[in-house]
Amino acid sequence: MSAAERVRVVVAMSGGVDSSVAAALLVERGYDVVGLFMRVGVEAPAADEACSSEDDTPCNPPGGTDPAGAGVSTRRLKQGCCGSSDAADARFVAGQLGVPFYALNFKADFDALIEHFADEYARGRTPNPCIMCNDRLKFGKLVDYADRVGAEFVATGHYARIAERDGRPALLTAVDSRKDQSYVLFGIDRAVLARVLFPLGEMTKDDVRGEAVRRGLPVHDKPDSVEICFVPDQDYARVVRERRPEAFQSGDVFDSAGNLLGRHEGIPHYTIGQRRGLGIATGQPIYVTGLDPESNTVTVGSRDALLHRTLIAERVKLLVDRPGDAFRAVAKIRYQHRAAAATVFLLDGGRMRVEFDEPQTAITPGQACVIYDGEVVFGGGWIVGPVRNGASGSGGVNPPAAPGG
């Protein structure tokens, strides 16, 4: 492929092993790669100040390789995905690959995601900010930037695949089911799918780390980022308290029969299905089964009280042609959930009802329900809550009519 024929692709480089190998593979395949790091508010060190959104100055890799000359940085690599040290890691890899690298300031956009995160917890919901980051930034702002630099494609290090189905691009699960990230990608605009590349979709994590070692990339053994990047200590309540202190009002804790069991120190401390940290002893395991911000109450109960067969989701987005008002699928109600067989009913107003063949545990408002046909992602929506089932179903919603019912 000649220089004039090379297709330009913008690669989101986070400084981790996955995005680094994704960029390396695309360079090897002959693409004109442009690396992009998304700054989301972490202050950069002085050596990294040339990488700014103000002038889009390309970043040159820093010096400092190992004494053996293998080209591996002697800097200590930390787990992360959006800090200044991660930007330095991404910049170094871009220099090894010989590709231009830019860091753009997405602080305002990312701050809006954190605001939404705080709002959701204050409302007694449990959000998934990674999905919104993918939707609005990595496959939203990143596509806008690709247009600015004349790039036909955008690419990331996600474990998922894009393949043609019925003459149109479709989002598929990754070959490595243990690392599959299609759940957090359902919000991608369908029109964007044709411009997305996932170079790691056919690889396992071991394959990726092996490629990084073979290519001498300094991030080959960098730990995966496993927490929400703006909550590295996993103290979600702290983040919410900083932005919504008024949500932390003490209130009552009841059981499913309405008996007062104790007090809580603020609804943002809890999520549906939570068992630890309740501070209530009943002689048997109890779980959070309902959160009501209006009355500022928490309801707890047995594990059986968490079981529901039906949920309602809103803001539904389909990545395939509408398969009908009702259809069979499998659905996931959180990232680590094992997809379960269900019937999906598409309702008016961008909503859907999902009826599982078997009851599912801890259907949680604010999480995403993503639906699949085998390896193809149909789409998904945001869970409003489980449908009430008689006396159980605290925190649920009343069931709407089925299409035509």
The tokens of 153 are what? 């494609």
The tokens of 206 are what? 């071991």
Give the Cα separation of 3 and 320 in Å (integer). Answer: 36
Q: Are 39 and 15 in contact (CB under 8 A)?
A: no
- DSSP bridge pairs for 369: 381
3-state secondary structure of 336: coil
Q: Which of 51, 59, 82, 229 is catalytic?
A: 229
229 is catalytic: yes
Q: Is 156 exposed, middle or buried (0-12, 13-18, 19+ CB in 10 A)?
A: buried
81 is catalytic: no
Give the Cα separation of 269 and 395 in Å (integer). Answer: 16
Quickly list DSSP for 285-330: --EEEEEETTTTEEEEE-GGGGEEEEEEEEEEEESS----SEEEEE
Q: Are 307 and 361 in contact (CB under 8 A)?
A: yes
The tokens of 263 are what? 């007090």
Q: How far is CA 280 from the centre of its chain?
A: 32
Closest CA to 93 of 144, 158, 25: 25
Backbone angles phi, psi at 249, to 5 degrees: -110, 135
Cα three-residue angle 36-37-41, rounded to 5 degrees: 145
Query: For 281-318, b where at least 16 C-beta lie within 10 A, e where not — what string?
Result: eeeeebbbbbbebeebbbbbbbeebbbbbbbbbeebbb
Q: How many CA atoms lie within 13 A of 3 on its CB side?
A: 0
The tokens of 8 are what? 């330009």
Quickly list DSSP for 53-113: TTT-PPPPPP--B-TT-S--B-SPP-S-SSSHHHHHHHHHHHHHHT--EEEEE-HHHHHHH
Q: How far is CA 227 from the centre of its chain?
A: 10
Provide the annotated active-site residues. 133, 229
